[in-house]
Amino acid sequence: EVSEEMLLRDIVFIFQGINGQFIKYNEESLSYIIDPKLDINRTTRDLLHRLTELGWLYKRVNEFVSLNVNDPSIGLVGQAFCSALQRELTEYYKFIAVLEAQVTKQVKGQQIPSQGLTLKRLLVWTQESLLKLRIMSVLVDCCKKQRGGALVSTIYNYTNHGDPFIQQFINNTLEEVSRPFFEMLQRWIYEGELEDPFEEFFVACDPNVLEENLWQLKYEYRQNMQPTFISTLLAKKIFSIGKSLNFIRYSCHDSDWVVTNGKAKGADKMLKYGDIIALESSIDATYTATSQRLLNILFTKYKLEKHLTALKQYLLLGQGDFIQHLMFQLGPGLSKPSNTLYRHNLTGTLEAAIRASNAQYDDPDILRRLDVRLLEVSSGDIGWDVFSLDYHVDSPINTIFTPQEMQRYLKLFNFLWRLKRVEHDLSSAWRRNTTSARSLYQIKEIKKEVNASRLVCSEMIHFVYQLQYYILFEVVIECSWDELVTEIEIGKKSGDLDSLIEAHNKYLTNVTTKCFLGTSNNQNYLSRLLKIIGYILQYKNVLVKIWGYSNLNKSSNQNVRENFKPIKERLEEVAGLFKGEVVNLLTTLSHHHDTDLRFLSVRLDFNEFYQEVSKNNGNNVNSGKRMGGN
């Protein structure tokens, strides 16, 4: 038999994680065991079991703190968590000291028995500490493998508990634990500095990325480190703010504004956990100011809008007089083998075309960036196949005009340039046909064929002109450009650089897709279109042979029909191939899911001429089958 005072002394030891005389910790069962030889009633034994829970919880929490408090690998947030636990344990130690003093008085007989400490009273007195240690034990279990923002999120998830005491305890703990996170957040949004030695923030930095890729690749958004009390939208704004500050500092070379702005805002507002509404308001204001500053620099100092316009005017053939002069001067040289072209000659022609057109009034910086580029030469290529205009971009505008986007501009230029070349050749052919018509019509043997060739040439001109009008003015480039301009104006007020990049990417995607260059699904349309262009060029080459007959005199007309027969057959063959491919293209376009492309089908065949061609071809095929069957 033992006195209650002796059991109280044992329990106070247990509260401190120290084995008592009658109650000891068992490593196998991971629990406190009461000496079975102890002669106490069942009620007292149950009370002791309930009281040992406090010591068991303390032991778990204290072991976690002791193991991690000096371990730098857990990070700043982890150390703040240990510090918060240590603060609570310090309060717990004070409580234990009071209990120990009370027990000592009783053992020495210095306490009135009716006012003394009993096991039942001790159970009541320890309820608050027990609840706190239970919470801390749960947090220790949940946060063992968590770091940084993920650890903050884990603790925050308990703030919705229905018990006000637990809720308040969690909030107090979270305020201390999140302090390193908010210090990192404050430096990031006010100075653009990422002071995160243990990678605990939801923004990561790659120091090996070069400056020209700062916006796209240097910083990474890590959702797993984003605290749950920060919404994804707010986190994206935070991510954008820091990126914008660094872009302004390192790419736009305006570090003075970053420093001044950071000092002004950082001194006024210390961010901390507790007032989420104030945090959102502060971030929104900083996001707007930083984004507008960045866009203002790009549009004023670096003339971004002028570069966008220049790319449209020169690489997308919007500057009509310049393109016309360039094609007129380059045409003869580009018809020669590609190995006869020299870049310095082409550059001189480019400068001459600029001086001869309204392009001469453009910004000198824009014209300086405009250049000639020769594509990779293959066997049998002529100048038309390898010539291209180029536009040089540098930092910081190359963040919008990335190498991938510039490649799309060049792809579009080559396609539009090919169409313009066909238009140029057809216009030349039509003029030559017109000047040669009088003399050719006098040769009765070929008058019918000459007239037919002019009709086919007219069909081809209609096809090319309508296609160009659709691409350059009516649907594709101009409409997409209007959308881009609208989105830019909206972005200047409420967007950021990402929204600008997205708008530009959407613009290019719309243009390339509707020019049949965007996706693999459009390859069928593009291949048909290129075949049609090829047939037009072949037809023009055959027309050249007809013009030679305009110099024949009447005495030379005897063998004209016989000599003209191969030309006639070739004209009919190429014309048939052209019409057949146009019919195929119109058929596929008429079933396209894009209404604009279906409209193009109607525009190219507004009078249903090619529908009649298709019906006649079908009737001829069916007639041939019936004759074969008979």
Give whole-number Cα distances, 104 to 16, 98, 99, 116, 209, in Å: 16, 10, 9, 11, 67
- 223: exposed, middle or buried (C-beta count within 10 Å: 0-12, 13-18, 19+)? exposed
- 43: which 2 tokens? 């009620």
Q: Is pLDDT above 90 for 444? A: no
Residues in contact with 450: Cβ distance below 8 Å, sequence separation at least 6, in sequence order: 437, 440, 441, 443, 546
Q: What is the pLDDT of residue 630?
A: 31
Which whole number is the average pLDDT over 179-186?
Answer: 94
Which of 185-189, 288-292, 460-464, 515-519 is the least confident region? 515-519
pLDDT band per the 50, 70, 90 thresholds, residue 228: very high
- 162: exposed, middle or buried (C-beta count within 10 Å: 0-12, 13-18, 19+)? exposed
Residues in contact with 259: Cβ distance below 8 Å, sequence separation at least 6, in sequence order: 191
Instruction: Return the residue matching tokens 């708008």.
Output: 503
Q: What is the pLDDT of residue 160?
A: 87
Higher-scoring residue by pLDDT: 453, 81: 81
Q: What is the pLDDT of residue 629?
A: 37
Give whole-number Cα distances, 299 to 7, 253, 293, 303, 492, in Å: 80, 15, 10, 5, 9
Q: State the average pLDDT for the chain.
A: 88
Q: Could you tell me which of 485, 487, 509, 511 has the C-alpha nearest to residue 498?
A: 487
Digit-coded pLDDT (tens) for 421-441: 999 989 888 888 777 777 776
Q: What is the pLDDT of residue 308?
A: 97
Digit-coded pLDDT (tens) for 504-552: 999 999 999 888 887 667 778 888 999 999 999 999 988 888 776 666 5
What is the Cα Rg of the chain in Å? 42
Higher-scoring residue by pLDDT: 164, 522: 164
User: What are the two backbone dihedrals, phi and then psi, of residue 559, each rounded to the nearest 5 degrees?
Assistant: -105, 20
CB 564 within 8 A of CB 474: no
CB 294 within 8 A of CB 247: yes
% of residues, the chain, pLDDT over 70: 92
Q: Could you tell me which of 483, 478, 481, 476 has the C-alpha nearest to residue 511?
A: 476
Digit-coded pLDDT (tens) for 27-67: 888 888 888 888 788 888 899 989 999 999 999 999 999 99
User: What are the two backbone dihedrals, phi and then psi, of residue 2, each rounded to the nearest 5 degrees?
Assistant: -130, 155
Q: What is the pLDDT of residue 626?
A: 32
Question: Facing residues of 372 across strands?
Answer: 389
How far apart, in whole angstroms, are the C-alpha atoms of residue 587 and residue 559?
43
Which of 151-165, 216-230, 261-275, 382-396 is the least confident region? 261-275
Q: Is pLDDT above 80 for 554? A: no
Q: What is the pLDDT of residue 623?
A: 34
Higher-scoring residue by pLDDT: 113, 184: 184
Digit-coded pLDDT (tens) for 284-337: 999 999 999 999 999 999 999 999 999 999 999 999 999 999 999 998 889 888
Tell me the range of 25-29, 528-532, 557-561, 598-602 where mean pLDDT is highest.
528-532
CB 240 within 8 A of CB 248: no
- 499: which 2 tokens? 């929204």
Digit-coded pLDDT (tens) for 77-101: 999 999 999 999 999 999 999 998 8
User: What is the pTM assigned to this prediction?
Assistant: 0.84
% of residues, the chain, pLDDT over 90: 55
pLDDT band per the 50, 70, 90 thresholds, residue 625: very low
DSSP run (H or E) holding 11: helix 4-15
Q: Could you tell me which of 396, 409, 369, 392 has the C-alpha nearest to residue 210?
A: 396
